[in-house]
Structure 1
Amino acid sequence: MKRSFSIILMAALLASPGSVLAQDIPQAASALGLSDIQIREKSRAEYGQRIHGTLPGGARVEVDIDGKGVIEDIEARGNDLFPIADIRSLVPAAVVESASWPADAQLEKIEFESDGRVEIEGRLADGREFEAEFAADGRLLDFDSDS
């Protein structure tokens, strides 16, 4: 009896929405350490996937993956913001090492462009909203914030 209950419980857990096996997570997204993961295909398989999950810091995010398995963007869901530290491993070293990189900011969104540019939106440590764009070599291309 115990064995059949265990098998039924395991089958139910594997079939339940939100249960994702490690091999189902695209490699690019596995570095984020997401939990509570749900993967959805975009309208056409060649367009990629959308992954909903929770970052280690607790923020719920949506990760857009293109058809080649590359992260296009990460966006906070609801009113959440996520610390840059939660996604730092995905940002090119030249950008992170830039004197203009707001290492203590909370992000609403980060976009990774095919030419290596990185665009971010969120709040600075002092609470001001901002948008910034960095070239692949770390140069600050644009920075706008609330005064």
Structure 2
Amino acid sequence: MSMKRNKKISLGLSGLCLLAGTMAAQAMTQDEAIDAAQQKLKLTDVVLDYRDFYGQNIKAALPNGTRVEVHLDRNGEIDEVEGLHKRGFEEEFVRVLVPEQIVKNPSYPQGAFIHKLDFKDGYKVEIEGYGPNIREFKAEFRHDGKLLELKKEK
């Protein structure tokens, strides 16, 4: 009987080792996701804010020094970039994230300062900020470039 118990403990330890290895592999994938985001947006001063089941948050600086918070979903994809200061950040620094069809839309806020860039539900992009002639705006586009909603305050 003690032999069976030892076997169970041995199998339990193997299971724990396997679980620990899986968790280490997952952490590596999360770190790789941070590295990919850092390269894509040319981020500096990257600091992990938190990790959870839904993904991870990092705080960093864009190439011009503007501080942002970047959320990576659990697949490692950037799903939100938010400015940490009221001024926001220049859209040119995140244009690489926005589908080309949206950038070509005449309603796309070229040259705007963005407070928040949010990729929602896998098929739309929400942009909040302000521009030279617009006090505040909120625009929502489908990934194919179609404008779904535009609210402006002049």
With the length of structure 2 as denominator, give the TM-score of the two structures.
Answer: 0.74
Q: State the partner residue of 1:36.
A: 45
* Residue identity opposite 2:133 in structure 1: D
Unaligned runs of 5+ in 1: 1-21
Number of residues of Structure 1 aligned to a counterpart in Structure 2: 124
Correspondence 1:132 to 2:139 = yes
Percent identity, aligned pairs only?
37
Correspondence 1:100 to 2:107 = yes
Q: State the partner residue of 1:56.
A: 63
* Matches for 1:71-90 after TM superposition, within 5 Å: 71-90=78-97
User: Is the 8 Å Cα contact of residues 129 and 137 (structure 2) preserved in structure 1?
Assistant: yes
The 1:126–1:57 alpha-carbon spacing in structure 2 relative to 1, beyond 3 Å, is farther
Correspondence 1:141 to 2:148 = yes
More helix by share: 2
With the length of structure 1 as denominator, give the TM-score of the two structures.
Answer: 0.77
Measured in 2, the distance between the counterparts of 1:34 and 1:103 equals: 21
- Secondary structure of 2:150's match? strand
Deviations 1:49-81 (A, max 9, x none): 111001112210000111110111000003231
- Secondary structure of 1:31's match? helix
Measured in 2, the distance between the counterparts of 1:82 and 1:111 equals: 14
User: Is the 8 Å Cα contact of residues 48 and 66 (structure 1) preserved in structure 2?
Assistant: yes
Measured in 2, the distance between the counterparts of 1:81 and 1:41 equals: 22
Deviations 1:86-133 (A, max 9, x none): 000111111111111111111000001233211000001225111000
Deviations 1:23-48 (A, max 9, x none): 57242442001111101333x3x321
Which consecutive segments of 4 or more residues in structure 1 shift more than 4 A? Answer: none
Unaligned runs of 5+ in 2: 1-30
Measured in 2, the distance between the counterparts of 1:64 and 1:90 equals: 13
1:117 to 103, 106, 124: 124
Larger Rg: 2
Q: State the partner residue of 1:27.
A: 36
* Worse overlay, 137-146 or 125-134: 125-134
Measured in 1, the distance between the counterparts of 2:120 and 2:32 equals: 26
